[in-house]
Amino acid sequence: MQQQTYDVIIVGAGPAGSSAATILGKAGKRVLLIDKGKFPREKTCGDGLTYKCVPLLEKLGLALDFREQAFFYSKGYGITFSDGTQITVRRPMAEQEAVVYMMPRFDFDNLLLQGARQYESVTVLEEAMVTNVIQEGERSIGVQVHTANAGTQIFSAPLIIDASGVGSKIAVQMGFAKTDLKNYALTIRGYFDEIENLSDVVEFIFDRSILPGYFWIFPIGAHSANVGCGTFQHLIVEKEINLRHLLEAFVQNHPAGEKLKSARLRGSLKGGKIPLGLDFASRVRDGLLFCGDAGGFTDPITAEGISFAIESGILAAETALAALTADNFAAKFLQQYDGQWQARFGERFSKAGFIQETVGKQNLQDYFYNAVAHHPAFEAAMQNQGSQYEWMFKLKALVKAL
């Protein structure tokens, strides 16, 4: 059985894994990046990339290529609430940055992977299935991999980064995976063409049939959009919700989906699973780091995960560099990674309980107060009576929707 040694093994070549490989490749570290798929490959997603991704892509040296390839972007978003109330927010035209860029994951993930491939020290192994994590005591020291061409191989490294996604077999083997359905959402989406009167903003539509979830219409062109819906997995099971039927009914009958009635579905509807801010105190084990969806890094409120995947991949790579320098791969040393992601976006994930459990009136009031009280736009609005009136209506609409 063939065995090769690397500085770091990364499992999963999605946004988290490819970002980590790029940082490590730039530092000249010998990296093995493994993925079960063959790139470019399709990935079920809303395809929306928020402005938060841009500075991260600049760090990876890919921002220019991204802007050139993201064929549609929006400078705003619209929300339709379950009572028909609507809010549309647009970034001022003088500000150059888009709010949301639209780029299919087929193209975006391949862009990130090519960014990692440019470094000679990065080896990419596609169509390869990790069947086992090899351990020495409690410490992970390698992986067993199976490919159709080479059969079973063993690759060793003092550190493994698991970026293999929500269905991570490594997480299951290491006792890291969660089984509570409340921690996951299920989604379904399709690409629709020949849409008339398509808005220039990304749209979120709340409806009682899917709360606490939503429908979305994300434009990817003048007459094309990524259209989908999603909600908690436990509610889908308990209420016997059929997402496909809900989406089809939305397209045909919902007032907000009126523009879709004559649209043509391109290909077929496809579903996916999303982890929602899983309640782990730590994303590290001896010789092992979890990032991206494998680490549960998805916003529990909006279900947005790509920016968190990229950033957690970068943070994992930076921790790996520190561990290689110190020659220390113990969980206690690697916990600096926990400190970094907690500082960057831990507060976001602490809100998971807000949407998973029933909250009291005072909790709801405190949530809204803390969410806007120190926001510059809110503080500026409080100096103007007309703006105060506008904010009052906006917050009322949000409370009514919830």
CA distance 139 to 333: 13
Domain check: are 146 and 11 in the same one?
yes
Inter-residue contact 316 to 340 (CB < 8 Å): no
pLDDT at 393 (0 to 100) = 58
Q: Please report where in the chains the tokens 């409370």 appear, as a residue.
A: 399
**CA 36 – CA 339 distance, rounded (Å):** 30
CB 13 within 8 A of CB 164: no
Q: Is residue 86 part of a domain?
A: no
| Residue 338 and residue 207 share a domain | no
Whether residue 246 is found in the same domain as residue 285: no
Asked if 216 and 46 touch (Cβ cutoff 8 Å), the reply is: yes
Question: Which of 230, 257, 275 marks a domain boundary?
Answer: 275
Last residue of a domain, one of 222, 255, 275: 275
Evaluate whether residue 220 is within a structural domain: yes
Instruction: Please report the pLDDT score of residue 268 as a whole number.
Output: 93
CATH assignment of the domain containing 166? 3.50.50.60
Question: Is 92 a domain residue?
Answer: no
CA 235 to chain centre: 21
Answer for the pair 199, 232: CB distance below 8 angstroms, yes or no.
Answer: no
Taking CA 28 as the corner, what is the angle to CA 23 and CA 30, rounded to the nearest 5 degrees?
A: 95
Domain end among 275, 306, 341: 275
In a domain, 11, yes or no: yes
One DSSP character per residue, 96-118 reads -S-SEEE--HHHHHHHHHHHHHT
Outline where DSSP puts E strands in 198-311: 202-205, 214-219, 225-232, 264-275, 284-285, 288-290
Which residue matches tokens 């259209």?
A: 227
Classify residue 90: in a domain, yes or no.
Answer: no
CATH of the domain at 261: 3.30.9.10
Is 245 found in the same domain as 372?
no
pLDDT per residue of the chain (402 residues) written in tens, 0 to 9: 456 999 999 999 999 999 999 999 999 999 999 999 999 998 888 888 888 899 999 999 999 999 888 878 887 888 887 778 788 877 775 556 777 888 889 999 999 999 999 999 999 999 999 999 999 999 999 999 999 988 999 999 999 999 999 888 898 888 877 777 777 889 999 999 999 888 888 998 988 888 878 899 999 888 999 999 998 898 899 999 999 999 999 999 999 888 998 899 999 999 998 887 656 678 999 999 999 999 888 887 777 889 999 999 999 999 999 999 999 999 999 999 999 999 988 776 665 554 555 444 555 455 555 655 566 666 666 676 566 655 665 565 555 444
How many helices (H) does the chain have, and how many strands (E)?
Answer: 15, 20
128/29 same-domain check? yes
Rounded to whole angstroms, the Cα distance separating 330 from 312 reads 19
In a domain? residue 144? yes
- 150 plus 7 within the same structural domain: yes
Q: Do 338 and 364 belong to one domain?
A: no
Q: Largest alpha-carbon pair distance within the chain? A: 74
Residues 124 and 211 in one domain: no
| pLDDT reported for residue 277 | 66
Query: Domain count of the chain?
Result: 3
Residues 200 and 217 in one domain: yes
- 15 φ, ψ (degrees, to nearest 5): -55, -40
Q: Domain for residue 72, yes or no? A: no
144 vs 133, 141, 171, CA distance in Å?
Answer: 6, 10, 15
Give the pairing type, strands 31-34 and 122-125.
Answer: parallel
Is there a single domain that holds both residue 29 and residue 125?
Answer: yes
Would residue 258 count as lying in a domain? yes
- Domain assignment of residue 236, given as a range: 181-275
- Say if residue 166 is in the same domain as residue 287: yes
379 and 368 together in one domain: yes
The structure tokens listed for 302 are: 């909006």
CA distances from 325 to 26, 119, 328, 330 (A): 15, 20, 8, 13
